[in-house]
């Protein structure tokens, strides 16, 4: 990276060690953003968990079980802690797992994640763009809620996670984990992790390359999937109000690490935010690469020489023009052919119809009728021709837009 | 939601180390919906960011422009307390003045307090030294645009590097000759052309030839001339982000700039201390003494407070301007018009 650079030593204090502070100061001014996607069946506790994670009451209304398809609902909140301003966007699935036929349940979710990448790509490709002030909506982490059956993963879980594991960081969590006993929980967790591995599903691993956090992250990786309990209500314990669920047989405290893993999840999300965002950027890069390659862009041309974007655009434009010309020619030839055919047909009919018995008048009438027919046919052909010319005009205007318009419109 | 526990608030502010140079950014008013109860840990993102930047390091590219003999190399060496200028990499003072303007870039890696910086010093020997200096800024403008082009090419690649190497010129120090009268036509022409593509910081070289009064008057005259000619030097008024920036930058623009500097790589003993300075029969000029010259102001401005901002203005404004222009006169394609939000442009 530093080829041809020599390392110099400084003879006194210069002062650029304040650079990280300068950068941090600017970032604080600009604010941070973080986007979470929660996937889980209706009633599994997504809203309760999010409220518990950020220890604040996000207003939300419970949804019905009778939606015909899966939808996604996004809400943005501004949280502040000391001088850090965080724009938090929480996207939840609505109606997941409620349909009779769940074959397509994962599709709206995948489409949503892709749409955020697409929106960012569009902004990036604009001529006049403002990336600096762009509100990044790309999903940084996906919390996948597993039902606390105690048995194994459901098919829909595997299907959904597999469709997302190359696009987003997945952290599996067990929802409403207070319905499983401790011993059952250990078995359940083991089963889930082995099923994920054997199905080749990649979930997010907390980074272990930095020595300061590798130990705690390795331990945390061993707690996956997190058994979480969330609560919107608070219960009075002693003289404090704590988030908890009150049962006749006891109180489950959300923030007690012996009761559930909610605090672990919170800690891990917060201390690895930067890493989650970095991995999201990597997912975005592969999305971008696929998208651009699909549109026919390449970095290396046919002779293995690097191709500039201009050349690619010009080449594509030429290709398109030639294609249009070819089609035009084809249609014109067909038109000419049909006119000829029609003319031949009419002549033949005329010959057949002209019999010496006919009087002059009848002959004239017949000729008049034939003439009208011919005129009708020709008018039809004229109309067709006019329609075609119109279509050509529209195609041309689309073509000039398509060659310079965004990828979305080519979808 | 209940009121924030006052004890928690105090605890929260203890946990965050204050940035070194500036006061902590005042708390913005609470946004929609929520207020946090109890500590969550969101502010740990600051430490994560710090760790990340320490690991990746920083690039900084600084260009020096001015006639030969104005002390450019010495000043840059003094700024970075090390032999960074090309004069020290095997060149000698007796070398011939080149026939045209040359661009010579030398890279170094320096480290301080765990922060690694790749510093590139770009020298422009031959500028203003010819008989006929018309258009001598053109090779410089060309070089600057070439760096933008390099970055753009990397950015539009399908398979992109994780971190695009940044060779763009972040800061251009323009050396004004301390005539005491006014700016020369060459100075005005250069700055007029280049202030639109790069951050220009004008400095008055060899300021030890002027008395305090002469210095103040000269500076005032230079500022006036720059204003009259519509030359926007860094920090540009239009890019002040908020009131805090504006007040701070206004003071710099209207009082301190252009910095009248003296450079030196020799040390002398003054009052029992070793200081950088120039020894004359009538006294020792201390480079870092604010009563003698404004070197310390320049150094603090460029390195200690505005270095990151110099890079950001280069990236968010100068580079974007170049890119937009470049994509608009796209080899043969009809120029794109900005239409409604639906029909936004792209280069595909």
Tokens of B299: 């150094």
Strands B259-260 and B267-270: unpaired
Does the CB of A24 have a partner CB in chain B at under 8 Å?
yes
Element holding B63 (H helix, E strand): strand B58-65
First to last CA, chain B: 49
Burial class (CB in 10 A: 0-12, 13-18, 19+), B16: middle
Domain count across chain A: 2
Q: What residues of chain A lie within 8 A of the CB of B321, using their CB?
A: none
Positive or negative, the CA dihedral A340, A343, A347, A353 is positive
E strand map for A10-70 = 32-39
Residues of B with Cβ-Cβ distance to A405 under 8 angstroms: 343, 345-346, 348
pLDDT higher than threshold 60 for residue A214: yes
Q: Using the beta-carbon criterion (under 8 Å), do B241 and A29 form an inter-chain contact?
A: yes
What is the per-residue pLDDT for A14?
86
pLDDT confidence of residue A410: 43
Amino acid B200: pLDDT = 95
Pair of tokens at residue A140: 């940084």
Tokens standing for residue A80: 């502040």
Task: Give the β-pairing of B267-270 and B273-280.
Answer: antiparallel
B156 neighbourhood in chain A, CB within 8 Å: 309
Q: Name residue, tokens 């690097």.
A: A306
- Asked if residue A313 has pLDDT above 70, the reply is no
pLDDT of residue B1 exceeding 50, the answer is no
A190 located within any domain: yes
Helices (H), B16-169: 44-56, 72-79, 138-156
Disruptive mutation site among A1, A80, A305 for chain B (greatest number of B CBs within 10 Å): A80
If you measure CA to CA, which chain B residue comes closest to A279? B162
Considering only residues B152 and B96, tell me which one the structure prediction assigns the higher pLDDT.
B152
What pLDDT is attached to residue B260?
A: 93
CA–CA–CA angle B344, B346, B348 (5° rounding): 140
Please name the residue of chain A whose CA is at the shortest distance from the CA of residue B20: A21
- Answer yes or no: do A336 and A267 share one domain: no
Q: Does A160 touch chain B (CB under 8 A)?
A: no
Domain range for A66 = 24-295
Mean pLDDT computed over B257-267? 88
Q: Which of B336, B334, B152 is nearest to A309 (CA)?
A: B152
Q: What is the pLDDT of residue B237?
A: 87
Assess if residue A387 is contained within a domain: no
Which two tokens mark A267? 């800690």
State the pLDDT at residue B348. 33
Higher pLDDT, A408 or B63: B63
Q: How far apart are CA A263 and CA A55, in angstroms?
A: 10
B8 pLDDT tier (thresholds 50, 70, 90): very low
User: Which pLDDT belongs to residue B222?
Assistant: 93
Fold of domain B56-87+97-263+293-330? Rossmann fold (3.40.50)
**Which residues from A are below 8 Å from B110, CB to CB?**
7-10, 14, 16
* C-alpha span between A304 and A290 (Å, rounded): 20
The proportion of chain A whose per-residue pLDDT surpasses 70, expressed as a percent, equals 89
The larger pLDDT score, comparing residue A4 to residue B174, is at B174
According to the model, what pLDDT value does residue B282 have? 86
The alpha carbon of A314 is separated from its chain's Cα centroid by a whole number of angstroms, namely 29
The upper half-sphere exposure of residue B275, i.e. CA atoms within 13 Å in the direction of its Cβ, equals 18
Residue range A301-316: mean pLDDT, rounded:
56
* Omega before residue A225 within 30° of 0, cis: yes
Shortest CA distance from A18: residue in chain B: B304
Element (H, E) at A281: helix A273-294
List, for residues B238-256, the tens digit of each pLDDT value: 888 888 888 888 888 888 8
Query: What residues are paired with A234 via a beta bridge?
Result: A243
Smallest Cα–Cα separation from A31: which of A129, A118, A126, A136?
A136
Per DSSP, the three-state class of B259 is: strand
Q: Any idea what the Cα angle at residue A140 is, between residues A138 and A143, rounded to 5°?
A: 120
Structure-block tokens of residue A154: 């459901």
- Which tokens is A118 given? 């697409």
**Together in a domain, A268 and A340:** no
Is residue A197's pLDDT more than 90? yes
**Mean per-residue pLDDT, A15-32:** 90
Q: How far is B217 from chain A (nearest CA, A)?
A: 30
Q: Residue A319 domain-assigned?
A: yes
Q: Exposed (0-12), middle (13-18) or buried (19+): which is A9, by Cβ within 10 Å? A: exposed
What is the four-CA torsion angle of B136, B141, B142, B147, rounded to 10 degrees? Answer: 150
| Least confident interval from B19-23, B66-70, B78-82 | B19-23
Does A406 map to a domain? Answer: no
Residue B24 pLDDT > 90: no
Q: Are A144 and A290 within one domain?
A: yes
Q: Using a CB-CB distance cutoff of 8 angstroms, which residues of chain B are in contact with residue A317?
A: 333
- State percent of chain A over pLDDT 90: 36
Cα A263 → chain centroid? 29
Residue-wise pLDDT for A357-405, tens only, equals: 556 777 788 788 888 888 888 888 888 888 888 888 888 887 777 665 5
State how far the Cα of B286 lies from the Cα of B127, in Å rounded to an integer: 29
Q: What is the pTM of this model?
A: 0.75
Read off the pLDDT band of B23 (50, 70, 90): very low
Last residue of a domain, one of A295, A327, A342: A295
Residue A266 CB-density burial (10 A; 0-12 exposed, 13-18 middle, 19+ buried): buried
Average pLDDT over residues A162-185: 92
Rounded to 5 degrees, φ, ψ at B241 are: -80, -35
- Assess whether A172 and A280 both reside in one domain: yes
Of A200 and A102, the one with more pLDDT? A200
Residue with tokens 């923030």: A255
Asked if residue A163 is part of any domain, the answer here is yes
Q: Which residues pair with A36 in a beta bridge?
A: A90, A141
- pLDDT of A305 reads 46
Residues A202 and A98 in one domain: yes
CB A20 within 8 A of CB B50: yes
B-proximal residues of A, 239-298, CB under 8 Å: 241, 266-267, 270-275, 278, 282, 285, 288-289, 292-293, 295, 297-298
What is the band of B332 on the pLDDT scale with cuts at 50, 70, 90? very low
Nearest to B84 by CA among B119, B59, B133: B119
Which H or E run includes A227? strand A226-227
DSSP code, position B28: P
Residues β-bridged to residue A90: A36, A75
Considering the domain architecture, whether residues A49 and A196 belong to the same structural domain is answered as yes
Separation CA A154–CA A403 (nearest Å)? 45
Residue B178 φ then ψ, to 5°: -80, 60
Contact between chains at B40 and A54 (C-beta distance less than 8 A): yes
Contacts 24+ apart (CB under 8 A), A357-366: none
Do the beta carbons of residue B127 and residue B99 sit within 8 Å? no
Considering the domain architecture, whether residues A350 and A266 belong to the same structural domain is answered as no
Q: Name the residue ranges covered by the structural domains of chain B.
A: 56-87+97-263+293-330
Using CA atoms, how far apart are residues B183 and A280, in angstroms rounded to an integer? 52
A153 lies in the same domain as A53: yes
Does residue A69 sit in the same domain as residue A93? yes
Confidence of residue B101 (pLDDT cuts 50, 70, 90): confident
Q: Are residues A103 and A221 in the same domain?
A: yes
Residue B18: count of CB within 10 angstroms of its CB: 11
User: At A32, which CATH number?
Assistant: 3.40.50.300
Indicate the average pLDDT of chain A.
85
* pLDDT single digits (tens) B285-296: 898 888 888 999
Closest chain A CA to residue B38: A55
- Which of B30, B45, B308 has its CB closest to that of A22? B308
Q: Tell me if B39 sits within 8 A of B14, measured CB to CB.
A: no
Residues of chain A contacting B82 with CB distance shorter than 8 Å: 8-11
> Quick check: A154 pLDDT over 50?
yes
Give the residue-averaged pLDDT of A101-129: 90
**Angstrom distance (rounded) from CA B16 to CA B322:** 39
CA distance from start to end of chain A:
39
A49 and A171 part of one domain: yes
Q: Are the CB atoms for B154 and A53 separated by under 8 Å?
A: no
Please tell me whether residues A181 and A104 are part of one structural domain: yes
Least confident segment among A260-269, A308-317, B192-201:
A308-317
Flag whether residue A335 sits within 8 Å of chain B, measured between CB atoms.
Answer: no
Res B347 pLDDT > 50: no
Give the C-alpha separation, B157 to A221, whole Å: 36
- Who contacts B139 (Cβ-Cβ below 8 Å, separation ≥6)? B100, B101, B102, B103, B124
Could you give the CA distance from residue A384 to residue A381 in angstroms, rounded to a whole number? 5
Q: Which of B189, B188, B171 is nearest to B76 (CA)?
A: B171
Backbone angles phi, psi at A255, to 5 degrees: -95, 15
Note whether A229 and A176 are within 8 A (CB).
yes
């Amino acid at each position: 990276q530093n080829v041809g650079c020599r390392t110099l030593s400084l003879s006194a204090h210069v002062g650029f060690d304040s650079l990280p502070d300068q950068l941090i100061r600017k970032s604080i001014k600009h604010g941070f953003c973080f986007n979470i996607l929660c996937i889980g069946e209706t009633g599994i506790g997504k809203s309760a968990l999010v409220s518990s994670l950020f220890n604040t009451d996000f207003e939300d209304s419970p949804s019905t079980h009778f939606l015909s398809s899966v939808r996604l609902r996004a809400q943005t909140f501004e949280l502040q802690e000391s001088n850090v301003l965080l724009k938090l966007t929480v996207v939840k699935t609505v109606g997941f797992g409620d349909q009779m036929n769940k074959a397509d349940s994962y599709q709206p979710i995948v489409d949503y994640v892709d749409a955020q990448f697409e929106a960012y790509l569009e902004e990036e490709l604009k001529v006049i763009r403002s990336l600096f002030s762009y509100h990044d909506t790309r999903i940084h982490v996906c919390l996948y809620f597993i039902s606390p059956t105690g048995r194994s993963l459901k098919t829909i879980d595997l299907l959904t996670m597999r469709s997302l594991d190359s696009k987003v960081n997945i952290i599996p969590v067990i929802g409403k984990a207070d319905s499983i006993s401790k011993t059952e929980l250990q078995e359940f967790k083991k089963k889930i992790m082995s099923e994920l591995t054997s199905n080749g599903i990649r979930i997010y691993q907390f980074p272990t390359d930095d020595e300061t956090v590798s130990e705690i992250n390795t331990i945390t990786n061993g707690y996956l999937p997190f058994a979480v309990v969330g609560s919107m209500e608070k219960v009075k314990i002693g003289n404090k109000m704590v988030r908890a669920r009150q049962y006749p047989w006891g109180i489950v405290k959300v923030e007690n690490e012996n009761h559930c893993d909610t605090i672990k999840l919170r800690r891990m999300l917060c201390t690895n935010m930067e890493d989650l965002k970095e991995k999201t950027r990597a997912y975005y890069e592969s999305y971008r690469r696929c998208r651009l390659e699909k549109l026919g862009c390449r970095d290396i041309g046919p002779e293995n020489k690097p191709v500039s974007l201009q050349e690619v655009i010009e080449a594509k434009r030429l290709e398109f023009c030639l294609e249009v010309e070819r089609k035009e020619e084809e249609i014109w030839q067909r038109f000419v052919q049909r006119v000829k055919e029609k003319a031949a047909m009419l002549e033949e009919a005329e010959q057949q119809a002209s019999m010496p018995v006919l009087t002059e008048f009848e002959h004239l009438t017949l000729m008049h009728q034939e003439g009208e027919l011919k005129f009708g046919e020709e008018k039809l052909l004229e109309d067709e021709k006019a329609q075609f010319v119109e279509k050509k005009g529209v195609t041309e205007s689309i073509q000039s837009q398509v060659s310079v318009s965004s990828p979305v419109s080519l979808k | 939601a209940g009121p924030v526990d006052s004890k928690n608030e105090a605890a929260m502010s203890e946990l965050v180390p204050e940035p070194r140079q500036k006061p902590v950014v005042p708390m913005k008013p609470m946004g929609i919906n929520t207020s946090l109860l109890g500590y969550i840990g969101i502010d740990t993102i600051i430490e994560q960011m710090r760790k990340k930047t320490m690991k990746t390091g920083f690039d900084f590219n600084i260009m020096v422009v001015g006639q030969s003999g104005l002390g450019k190399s010495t000043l840059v060496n003094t700024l970075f307390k090390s032999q960074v200028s090309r004069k020290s990499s095997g060149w000698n003072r007796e070398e011939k003045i080149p026939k045209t303007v040359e661009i010579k870039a030398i890279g170094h890696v320096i480290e301080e307090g765990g922060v690694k910086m790749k510093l590139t010093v770009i020298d422009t020997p031959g500028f203003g030294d010819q008989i006929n200096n018309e258009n001598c800024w053109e090779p410089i403008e060309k070089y600057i645009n070439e760096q933008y082009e390099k970055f753009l090419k990397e950015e539009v690649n399908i398979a992109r590097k994780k971190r695009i190497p940044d060779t763009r010129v972040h800061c251009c120090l323009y050396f004004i000759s301390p005539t005491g009268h006014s700016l020369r036509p060459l100075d005005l022409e250069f700055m007029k052309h280049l202030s639109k593509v790069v951050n220009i910081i004008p400095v008055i070289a060899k300021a030890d030839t002027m008395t305090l009064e002469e210095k103040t008057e000269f500076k005032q005259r230079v500022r006036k001339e720059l204003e009259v000619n519509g030359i926007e030097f860094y920090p540009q008024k239009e890019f002040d982000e908020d009131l805090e920036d504006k007040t701070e930058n206004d003071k710099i623009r209207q009082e301190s700039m252009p910095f009248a500097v003296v450079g030196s790589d020799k040390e002398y003993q003054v009052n029992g201390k070793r200081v950088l300075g120039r020894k004359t029969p009538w006294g020792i000029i201390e480079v870092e003494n604010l009563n003698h010259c404004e070197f310390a102001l320049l150094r603090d401005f460029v390195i200690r407070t505005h270095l990151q901002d110099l890079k950001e203005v280069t990236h968010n404004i100068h580079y974007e301007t170049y890119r937009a222009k470049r994509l608009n006169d796209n080899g043969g394609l009809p120029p794109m018009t900005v239409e409604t939000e639906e029909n936004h442009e792209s280069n595909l």
